[in-house]
Amino acid sequence: MKTCLVVDDSSVIRKVARRILEGLEFSIEEAEDGEQALDACRRKLPEAILLDWNMPKMDGYEFLRLLRRMPGGDGPKVVFCTTENDVAHIARALHAGANEYIMKPFDKEIVEAKFQEVGLI
């Protein structure tokens, strides 16, 4: 079973994402911000990361930049999942190494389509 790290400061979003991704047969880890997410990745790199942008302590963009510099950090497929839905943010995310991008609000079909697009399912 593949693991997905869900990184979002909203417990509601984490809960919704968990329900969708468990339905797609992922094992779920959770983090509330970029720092917690980095700690989780240092312990064990997941196959997938669903990543919010705006979070306290360390935002998703900064986390992604640091992740991609870690040994093996280019492995996980990173799918941003954020309310930042303008072209400039999307371009920055892709430049920093994101594999896909979900604009909130989202539903199961969107998550499934994006994960399929990057070869996770």
Partner 1 sequence: MSPDDFDFLRKMLRERSGLMLAAEKQYLAESRLLPVARKFNIASLGDLVQQIRLMPGSPLAVATVEAMTTNETFFFRDKLPFDHFRDTILPALTGARERDKRIRIWCAAASTGQEPYSLALIIKEMLQKQPALAAFRFDILATDLAGEVLERARAGVYSQFEVQRGLPITLLLKYFTQVGETWQIASDIRAMVQFRPLNLLNDFSPLGRFDVVFCRNVLIYFDQPTKIDVLTRLARQMPEHGYLALGAAETVVGLTDAFKPLTEKRGLYVPNPASRELEAPLAVASVVQRRAL
Q: What number of chain residues touch partner 1 (CB under 8 A)? A: 18
66 counts as binding partner 1 under rule CB under 8 A? no
114 counts as binding partner 1 under rule CB under 8 A? yes
Which residue type does 44 have? Answer: K
23 counts as binding partner 1 under rule CB under 8 A? no
Of 90-109, binders to partner 1 (CB under 8 A) are 90-91, 94, 100-103, 106-107, 109
HEC profile of the chain: CEEEEEECCCHHHHHHHHHHHHHCCEEEEEECCHHHHHHHHHHCCCCEEEECCCCCCCCHHHHHHHHHHCCCCCCCEEEEEECCCCHHHHHHHHHHCCCEEEECCCCHHHHHHHHHHCCCC
- Which residue number, 33 or 115, has a Cβ lying nearer to partner 1? 115
83 counts as binding partner 1 under rule CB under 8 A? no
86 counts as binding partner 1 under rule CB under 8 A? yes
**Least distance between partner 1 and beta carbon 93 (Å):** 9
11 counts as binding partner 1 under rule CB under 8 A? no
